Amino acid sequence: MSIVGKMHIDGAFEGNVSSLDSISIGKSGHVRGLIKARSVDVCGLLEGEVICDELHIDAGGQVRATVESKQMSIHPQGCFLGERRLKEVTALNDDGHKIETGMDAIDSLPDKVVLDQKSD
């Protein structure tokens, strides 16, 4: 389901939801599926996968999911169980060319490195 604008969920929902704005899950909300949004606020239970810029887990909120986000905050009485991946940000140098970061830099390394010790 794709929506325009904000969405608030109280009650049970199973499926995929995407929004260019924010999605909030109330205290009585239980969502299972893929959630894509600019911002996600959780007071209830969210299970599945989350792709967002900002994830906020409030007091009493539970997220059991794989999360891809730029920012994530968890209230001391909130719960996160899962895996978090940072959203990749493309870095450019002064010339406008892409700078290798993260896994790109690691993947560009040679498979084998040989150190040659020269004795005097």
Residue 115, pLDDT > 70, answer no
pLDDT for residue 68? 93
pLDDT tens readout for residues 48-105: 999 999 999 999 999 999 999 999 999 999 999 998 988 665 555 666 666 555 556 5
**Using CB atoms within 10 A of its CB, is residue 61 exposed (0-12), middle (13-18) or buried (19+)?**
buried
Residue 16, pLDDT > 80, answer yes
Q: How far apart are CA 92 and CA 100, in angstroms?
A: 9
pTM to 2 decimals?
A: 0.70
The pLDDT of 31-52, averaged and rounded, is 95
What type of residue is 117? Q
